[in-house]
Structure formats: structure tokens, C-alpha cells
Amino acid sequence: MSEQNTPFENSPAKSPRRTVGRVVSSRADKTITVLVERQVRHPLYGKYMRKSTRLHAHDEHNECHEGDRVAIVETRPISRTKCFRLVEVLESASELQQKEAAAAATVGV
């Protein structure tokens, strides 16, 4: 008998969903909680509202701290609530505070 190709055999691999957010908790060992914010338009009134989602992500080396801006990707389930893993730290909390202080200083001048 000849072998038949399954529908998933020749399909290209789906790239994992990459999300950027802010770390709101890093207390648990190897786990961070990331707050992802997005703007959604109200269906009736048309006003843009800010919606947020908290996602748990795996931080293998405990390199994140609260306030960091991070990129996470979807992965296999690691625990009951953890389905994302840390890819990179985009900006540390200290860098963000320095930028905000510089912006406030230029506005106050």
C-alpha cells in the first residue's frame, strides 16, 4: 500500500504568538505575571477603552523584576495557568524610570 500524506504533514509550522507586556509580579520561583494592555473600540459608542489581560509566563533564570517591559511567546502548557515563556527583556524598570524622569524634566522646563 502507498503511504498517504496527512493534512498536517506538509503544512508550514505556525509561528508562536508573541506578546509584549509589563511585569506586575515576579514573586514566584521561575514565574512572572505579565500585564498585557490593548485598546478596544466600544461597539455602540465608538469610544476606545483600555482592556488588560494578566498572563503567567515561565522565567527560567529569574531575570525579570517588577516594572520590566518583556516579550513572551505562547508555548506548550507548563503548569495549570502557565502557557507562555519569556523571550527577552525589552526594557528594565530602572531604564523606564530614567526615561520618565527625563520626559518630566523637559515638560517642567
Domains of the chain: 18-108 (2.40.50.140)
What are 10-51's pLDDT values in tens digits? 667 777 889 999 999 999 999 999 999 999 999 999 999 999
- Measure CA 87 to chain center: 9
Tell me what the mean pLDDT of segment 93-98 comes to: 80
**pLDDT tops 80 at residue 68:** yes
Given a contact cutoff of 8 angstroms between Cβ atoms, the answer to whether 72 and 19 are in contact is: yes
What percent of the chain has pLDDT above 70?
89
Query: Please, what's the b/e burial string for 46-71 (b: 16 or more CB within 10 A of its CB; e: otherwise)?
Result: eeeeeeeeebbbbbeeeebeebbbbe
pLDDT at 96: 75
**pLDDT tops 70 at residue 5:** no
Specify the pTM: 0.76
